[in-house]
Amino acid sequence: MQALVTRPHEEARSLARALAVRNVGAVIEPMMEVHYCLAAAPDLAAVQAILCTSANGVRALARVTSQRGLPLLAVGETTASRARAEGFTAVASAHGAVTDLVRLAVARLRPQDGRLLHVSGNVVAGDLVGALRTHGFEIERSVLYEARPVGALSRPGVCALRCGMIDFALFFSPRTAAIFVRLAGIAGVAQCFRTITALAISKAADEILASLPWHDRRVAERPNQAALLDTLDAVLAEQRQG
């Protein structure tokens, strides 16, 4: 079995390893390319905590500062794991989405203890800054990378779709899903999805995918990679029983 992986290369490689444990091969077809900004190190004076909503944000931050001791609150475990790998020593995971990160910050931090820094890309999901300001926090956003859409599906990816090699397609954001739907239309491969099950990290991503004629569509119970892999496990178990 093969799964189409639409994540950027860094995340796709770790996901491919998780798929291999399940005897599922990975056809890596990133929908976005990450470009790090040539930015000065953010001013961390009087910052009580850093908030990261992606592993790429952590990578970008690690490139511009040697500071590793400040508390770092991550949206999910993938982002938190990346932070630990980059040497950050006080990492906590919200295990979910932006709303979960807001709850974690409100539970652990106090507005009077200093400002917050949200490290992000040029496009963000949700309004983390606005939500925390309503709780009295001073917070600013530092854009340290850009996630740019690719211009077309790759030739190997199109070939894999047309040859019926793909059993699953994995989507980790509404933006990724939207890029894929648009590029699939340009490539003329829409009819290839009738034998493929789409697995989406959220209902928002799944709704965008609904315009393509999938064999089946499933949504993870929680907006993280672990839950999406649990959804894949459930589909694989159904197929074995069938």
Beta bridge partners of 52: 74, 119
Residue 105, pLDDT score: 97
Residue 42, pLDDT score: 87
Mean pLDDT of all residues belonging to the chain: 94
Cα diameter, the chain: 59
Residue 145, pLDDT score: 93
Q: Are 199 and 171 in contact (CB under 8 A)?
A: yes
Residue 60, pLDDT score: 94
Strands 168-171 and 139-149: unpaired
Single pTM value for the model: 0.85
pLDDT in tens, 48-69: 999 999 999 999 999 999 999 9
For each of the domains in the chain, give its residue range(s) and CATH number, in order of start.
Answer: 2-31+150-241 (3.40.50.10090), 34-148 (3.40.50.10090)
Q: Are 83 and 59 in contact (CB under 8 A)?
A: no
Average pLDDT over residues 151-177: 96
**196: pLDDT strictly greater than 90:** yes
How many residues can be counted in the chain?
Answer: 242
